Structure 1
Amino acid sequence: MKKPSKKLDLFISEAPESENLTGSAGSPKKIRKGVMRGNKEQISLTFPPEMISKIDEAADDLGISRSAWISMTISIALKKIGTSGS
């Protein structure tokens, strides 16, 4: 991926809403692509149908939603590799 040009950085920093797009030192910060829902960020994931069936079965076995199962499983995986899941 190509790094944004200095002209683009300058254009963004001079925009009226630039404080939402730049970090504290005026450097570009990562723009979030998900939609905020309260204190959580909604994202879109794509899985093969067979995997969705397995996810749904695992979630049903625990009596939780597909979304809750995915969040729980990712949190467990992140803890295993030493990254905070919350």
Structure 2
Amino acid sequence: MAIQRKPASVGAKSEAAAAAFVDGAPDARKPAASEAVGTYEKGVAKGNKRQISLTIAPELLRKVDELAKRSGQARAAIINLALYRLVERDDVFDRK
């Protein structure tokens, strides 16, 4: 086994880039002044998220689980993504 050198430390520029990447994640955003932390009390606080209970039809749950397995994601991640996309499509339930 060869002796290897200690890797060079990460520069400030790389650390800033990593911090910017992490801060850009949807679940890492800082709440706006109007969304003060802890003001939304529904569900159980779990870090910067809220845990809720969800009732779902067995066939839909099976499809969600299959999609999660194919994509290598957790069931919760699939449900979060689907809800996020639905909420972002502001016009879904508009009746015209």
Q: TM-score, normalised by structure 1?
A: 0.55
Provide the C-alpha distance between the structure 1 equivalents of 2:42 and 2:88, rounded to a whole number of angstroms. 24
* Corresponding residue of 1:41: 50
1:35-62 deviation line (CA, Å, top 9, x unaligned): 0001100000001111110110111121
Alignment of 1:1-86 (within 5 A): 32-81=41-90
Deviations 1:6-49 (A, max 9, x none): xxxxxxxxxxxxxxxxxxxxxxxx87231000110000000111
- Give me the whole-angstrom Cα distance separating, in 1, the residues matched to 2:44 and 2:70: 29
SS class of match (1:41) = strand
Alpha-carbon distance in structure 1 between the residues aligned to 2:46 and 2:59: 28
Runs of 4+ in 1 over 3 A off after TM superposition: none
Q: Provide structure 1 residue ranges, at least 5 long, that are not aligned to the other structure.
A: 1-29
For 2:41, what is the secondary structure of its paired residue? coil
Identity %: 40
Q: CA deviation at 1:78?
A: 1.1
Q: Which amino acid aligns with 2:79?
A: I
Distance in structure 2 (CA, Å) of the matches to 1:51 and 1:44? 16
Tell me the secondary structure at the aligned position of residue 36 of structure 1: strand
Gaps of 5+ in 2: 1-38, 92-96
The structure with the largest alpha-carbon Rg is 2
